[in-house]
Each structure stands twice: as structure tokens, then as C-alpha cells.
Structure 1
Amino acid sequence: MIALVRYTFTVMLLSQRYLAPLLLFIGLVAVLTSSDTGPLTATYSSVAGAMLLCSVWLTMALTGLEDQPHRSIVVVSAGSHLRVLLATAGTAAVWCLLLTAAGLALPLLFGARTPGLADLALGTAAQLTSAVTGMAIGLLCSRLVFRRQGYALVAVLLLLLAVLLGKGVSPVNIMLTHLQNAPDSAEALVTTSVLLAVAAGFLAAALAITHAITRRRT
């Protein structure tokens, strides 16, 4: 599995498809947090929103790295479709962890703040909640599920709107609302950690659905 993740990560690097979501993330964080003088709970809420968009983009880019013949060769070499799919999700998780580190540091560079341990833990949990949810959306709207990219784009937009704007529909919406009103990071950390676990369940379901569709088509 580690070799598969390393292979997928290398292919992503060589393809340079990571550049667009990476630059989008840095740009969004810079715009949303550079003039923000409020509490870090609200700041990391904005960063988590940026993470959601970029994790969707990264995951869809990863699933579309290879055409069907090349993917079939990788599946045969790996031994199963599931291993390749898990390697894709693992690679997306690695990229999201790198973005999470940037999302923690950039708001501190743009503003004069001294974060506590609870602030950093909350920022990490909030970004990971968005990242895991975005990975689930990216898998469900990938080329593995939608052969026509126009349909995939419509599905992405609808799911993002539901996740961001639907009251109580997703852990991301609940988390962002809670972070905007939370008095301090320590209080918000418990709720955010629970929502991260819920988002992980969404990702597991997305992996199962994507795998089932992939197996049926092959």
C-alpha cells in the first residue's frame, strides 16, 4: 500500500495537477485571513472552508490521473481495485495534511497572533473535517463514477452547496456555524472532533460506493 501511495504521489507531482488547488488554497487563505483580527476560531473556520474546496479538487485530480488502460495495468499490478482506490484516498490525505500545515501557519504569518495549543488543535481538526468531507465528495464525483465530466461538475456544485449551506446536513456546515459562534478554541475542539469522526464515516461510505460502482463497470 505504501508503494502504491508513493507511486500515486509521484505521478501527481509529475503531472503538476496539484498546482491549481494548491494555489487556490493559498490564495483563499491569504484573502480570508490577512485582514482578520478576530478570534482564531473564526479564522480557522475560514481556512476550513478553503480546505473543503481544494480537497474536492485534489481528489478528483488524483482519480483522473490515468486513463482506463493505464489504471487497469495499475489494478492488475496492485492485485485489486480496492487497493488502488485506497491508495488514491491515502495520497489525497497526504496532500490534505500538507495543506493543513500551511493552513495553520499562514494565518499566523499574515496577522500578529500568538496561538495556544488548543487553537492549533482546533485548526487541525477543523481542516481535517473539511478535507475528509471534500475527499468523499471528490470520490463520488470522480471519473470512476461519472464518465461525463459535465455531469460530474453539476454533481460537485450541488454537493458543495448542500454541504456548505444545508443547515445541519453535513458536519462541515455544523462545524462552520459552531466555530463562528464559539467563545474559545478549547470549547469548540470537542464538538469539532466529534464532527471529524462523522466526516470519516462519510468518507468510508463514499469509498464503498465508489468501489462498488468501479467493480460493476469492470
Structure 2
Amino acid sequence: MIALVRYMFTVLLLSQRYLAPLLLFLGLVAVLTSSDSGPLTATYASVAGAMLLCSVWLTMALIGLEDQPHRSIVVVSTGSHLRVLLAAVGTAAVWCLLLTAVGLVLPLMFAARTPGPADLALGILAQLTCGFTGMAIGVVCSRLVFRRQGYALLLALGLLLAVLLGKGVSPVNIMLTHLQNTSDSTDALVPTAVLLAVAAGLLTVSTAVTQAITLRKA
């Protein structure tokens, strides 16, 4: 599995399709946090929102890298559709972890702040919650499910609006609302960790649904 993740990571690097979502993330973080002098809870909420958009785009781009004949060769080589899909999800997770590190540090460069351990932990949890949710959307809207990417894009936009605006339903909406209304990172750690677990569950369900559809089409 590690070799497969390394292969997909390398293919994505060589394709340069990571550049657009990466630049989107950096641009959003710079715009949303460069003049922000409020509590770090609200700052990292903004960074997490940028991670949501970036993770959707990155996951869809990663899974759509290979055409069907090339993907079939990879599946035969590994012996399992599921292994290839899990490797794609794992590769997207690695990218999200790298971006999380950037999202932690970049806002601190725009303003003189001294974050505590609770602030940094909250920043990680918040970004991963949005990252896992975005990956869940990206997997189910990928080329494995939709041959026509126009339909996939429309569904991805609809799901993004749903998770951002679905009050009391979406873990992303609940988390962002809570972080915008609190200034104490310590108080927000446990609720955000619970929402991260929910987001991980959504990613698991999304991966299972995509795998079932993939096998049915095979």
C-alpha cells in the first residue's frame, strides 16, 4: 500500500494538477487571515474553510489522473480495485496533512501571535475535519462514479453548499459556527475532535459507496 501511495503521489506531482488547488488554498488563507487580528479560533476556522474547497478539488483531480485503460493496468498489478481506491484516499490524506502544516504556520506569519498548544491542536483538528469532509465529497464526485465531469462538478458544488450551510446537520457547519463564536481553543478541542470523527465516518461511507459503484461498473 505504501508503494502504491508513493506511486500516486509521484504521478500527481508530475502531472502538476496539484498546483491549482494548492494555489487556491494559499490564496484563500492569505486573503482570509492577512488582516485578521481576532482570536485564533476564528482564524483557523477560516483556514479550515479553505481546506474544504482545496481537498474536494485535489481528491477529484487525483482520482481522475488516469484514464480507464491505465487504471485497469494498475488494478491488475495490485490485484484489487479497493486497494487502488484506498491508495488514492491515502494520497489525498497525505496532501491534506501537508497543507494542514502550511495552514497552521501561514496565519502566524501575517500577524505577531504566540499560539499555545491548544491553538495548534485546534488548528489541526479543524483543518482535518474539513479535509476529510472535502475528500468524502471528492471521492463520491470523482470519475469513478461520474463519467461526465460536468455532472460531477455540479454535484460537488451542491454538496459543498450543503455541508457549509446545513445548520445542525453538517459537521463542517457546526464546527465553523462554533469556532466563530468562541475565543477559547481549549473549550473547542473536544467538540472539534468529535466532529473530526464524524467527518472520518463520512469519508469511510463515501469510499464504500464509490467502491460499490466501481465494482458494479467493472
- TM tier, smaller: over 0.9
Deviations 1:153-189 (A, max 9, x none): 1101100000001111211000000000113000001
Q: SS state of the match for residue 36, structure 1?
A: coil
Q: SS state of the match for residue 146, structure 1?
A: coil
The match for 2:167 is 167
CA RMSD of aligned residues (A): 0.5
The match for 1:104 is 104
The match for 2:86 is 86
Matches within 5 A, 1:142-153: 142-153=142-153
Question: Unpaired segments of 5 or more residues in structure 1?
Answer: none
Deviations 1:42-82 (A, max 9, x none): 00000000000000000000000100000000000011000
Deviations 1:127-177 (A, max 9, x none): 000000000000010000111111101101100000001111211000000
Q: SS state of the match for residue 142, structure 2?
A: coil
2:132 maps to a residue whose letter is: V
The match for 1:137 is 137
Q: How far apart in 2 are the matches of 1:138 and 1:60?
A: 5
- Tell me the TM-score normalised to structure 1 length: 0.99
The match for 2:120 is 120
Q: Is the 8 A contact 1:12 1:65 kept in 2?
A: yes
Matches within 5 A, 1:131-210: 131-210=131-210
Q: Is the 8 A contact 1:33 1:107 kept in 2?
A: yes
Q: Does 1:32 align with 2:32?
A: yes
Q: How far apart in 1 are the matches of 2:56 and 2:66?
A: 18
Q: How far apart in 2 are the matches of 1:78 and 1:2?
A: 12
The match for 2:211 is 211
The match for 2:52 is 52
- Tell me the TM-score normalised to structure 2 length: 0.99
The share of aligned pairs that are identical, in percent, is 81
Q: Is the 8 A contact 1:4 1:84 kept in 2?
A: yes
User: Shift in Å at residue 201 of structure 1?
Assistant: 0.4
User: Aligned pair count?
Assistant: 218
Q: How far apart in 1 are the matches of 2:134 and 2:153?
A: 14
Q: How far apart in 1 are the matches of 2:170 and 2:76?
A: 36
The match for 1:61 is 61
The match for 1:15 is 15
Q: Is the 8 A contact 2:29 2:50 kept in 1?
A: yes
Q: How far apart in 2 are the matches of 1:77 and 1:169?
A: 41
Q: How far apart in 2 are the matches of 1:33 and 1:150?
A: 32
Q: How far apart in 1 are the matches of 2:74 and 2:184?
A: 47
Q: Is the 8 A contact 2:40 2:183 kept in 1?
A: no
Deviations 1:97-151 (A, max 9, x none): 0000000000000111100000000000000000000000000100001111111
Write out the 4+ residue segments of structure 1 that deviate beyond 3 Å after TM superposition.
none
Q: Is the 8 A contact 2:34 2:107 kept in 1?
A: yes
Q: How far apart in 1 are the matches of 2:40 and 2:183?
A: 10
Q: How far apart in 1 are the matches of 2:20 and 2:165?
A: 25
2:41 maps to a residue whose letter is: T
